[in-house]
Amino acid sequence: MPLAVYVLGTSVFALGTSEFMLSGLLPPIADDMQVSIPQAGLLISAFAIGMVVGAPLLAVATLRLPRRATLLALLAVFGAGQVAGALAPTYGVLFASRVVSALACAGFWAVGAAVAIATVPVTARARAMGVMIGGLSVANVVGVPAGAFLGEHLGWRAAFWAVGAASALALVGIAALIPPIPRPAELPRLGIEIRIYRDRQLWLSVTAIALSAGSVICLFSYLSPVLTEVAGLDDGWVPTVLALFGVGALVGTTVGGRIADAHLFGVMIFGTTVTAVLLACFALLSQYAVAAVGLSLLLGFSAFSTAPALNARMFNVAGAAPTLAGATTTAAFNVGNTGGPWVGGTIIDAGFGYAATAWAGAAMAVASTVAVTVSLRRHRADARRGAQDGLTVASGAATPQPSAAVPPHGY
């Protein structure tokens, strides 16, 4: 892997910590801002909404700008958003700071993913995305539990200050270690890139990503009250369980990233299916502390094992539009990150209890598996059609060529 990929993955640590740390801070934020826990959970959705809107918007706005300068500017805005959140006097200001931070985070993800993919061959795309997503996994191992620890001992605002400091370090790292990226001989053209949205396979990938992300975040957003009020654990256990989830996520990302380039669809189908089973088990067994802790670890593994494959599949489908492919992937993940907390909060408000969020997550994971399976069937049909077209050309004394639209990935 080129150095730039690892630097980007390190920067993602700060972004990921901010995105997910609220799962361990909802009770103190709700108390301080005098709102309910489901209302505090909407701050997670606010970040995700900003990611959904910001990814394509900023990808288009920065399409012709220098990549390195764009990454630096977006990271600076993200850090400023963390400072604004730490100083927020009201829930409304905190909500707005989350949206602004998310817009910058989305732009960084979209541009950073395009840079990472451009530096490696097609056969290493999943591994490259695994390195970037590894930063997100480390955020779940270290950043999110650390945020919960700071929230418990120094107040939730301290967690925002810490992420702001991590953003400043990431800014220095990019400035020092990523050289200016040469402009391509032919600059990207929006009119050409936007044509990817005509492809049904792209929309199947969007659906699979959104449902996969939403399935886990539906429960994860309310994991803190599930652990304390359903499983009966003390508040001090929350950072530990979040860290275990992160350990599972880090291992899952590493394993999935190394396998997915050869078995793209197999990794996606296996991961989403196992996630559905684990979430159903969580719904049934969450009142038992040992089960809740163990299943949190396993859920981190299953959920993140699919992420490199889901990312790589989108770039394969939208190979002619790498910038919008990264933006669309980011938006798709955060459609799930928006809908998951909202669905979970709705279920809690309806009186079904915190553990019921796992049932909703299991249903979304099953739907994601269906979307991936349909995509696999269409992929195989396209491959057969491409082979038949090649034979037809060959019978006319021309050399058969493989279909460019169907990347050669095994099950």
Kindly report, residue by residue over 40-59, the tens digit of the pLDDT: 888 887 887 888 888 788 87
Residue 187 lies in a domain: no
Q: What is the pTM of this model?
A: 0.74
How far is C-alpha 305 from the chain's CA centre?
12
pLDDT at 397: 46
Tell me the pLDDT tens digit for each residue of 242-252: 888 888 888 88
Backbone angles phi, psi at 151, to 5 degrees: -60, -35
Residue pair 159/35 in contact by the 8 Å Cβ criterion: no
Of 225, 222, 217, the C-alpha closest to 361 is: 217
Q: Which domain holds residue 105?
A: 3-178+197-392
Residue 189 lies in a domain: no
CATH value at residue 86: 1.20.1250.20
Residue pair 257/130 in contact by the 8 Å Cβ criterion: yes
Each residue's pLDDT expressed in tens, for the chain with a length of 411 residues:
778 888 888 888 888 888 778 877 888 888 888 888 888 888 887 887 888 888 788 877 877 788 888 899 999 999 999 999 999 999 999 999 999 999 898 888 878 877 787 777 777 777 787 787 777 777 767 777 788 888 878 888 999 999 999 999 889 888 888 777 766 666 666 677 788 788 888 999 999 999 999 999 899 888 888 999 898 888 888 888 888 888 888 888 888 888 887 888 999 999 999 999 999 999 999 999 999 999 999 999 998 899 888 988 887 887 667 667 777 888 888 888 888 888 998 999 888 989 999 999 999 999 999 999 999 998 888 778 766 665 554 455 444 433 334 444 444
Residue 184 lies in a domain: no
Residue pair 5/132 in contact by the 8 Å Cβ criterion: yes
How far is C-alpha 236 from the chain's CA centre?
27
Residue 401 lies in a domain: no
- Total structural domains in the chain? 1
Residue 397 lies in a domain: no
Tokens (6 digits) for 312:
């790589």
Residue 380 lies in a domain: yes
**Amino acid letter, residue 343:** V
pLDDT at 182: 66
Residue pair 128/34 in contact by the 8 Å Cβ criterion: no
How far is C-alpha 410 from the chain's CA centre?
24
How far is C-alpha 269 from the chain's CA centre?
17
Tokens (6 digits) for 152:
């418990």
Residue 264 lies in a domain: yes
Residue 411 lies in a domain: no
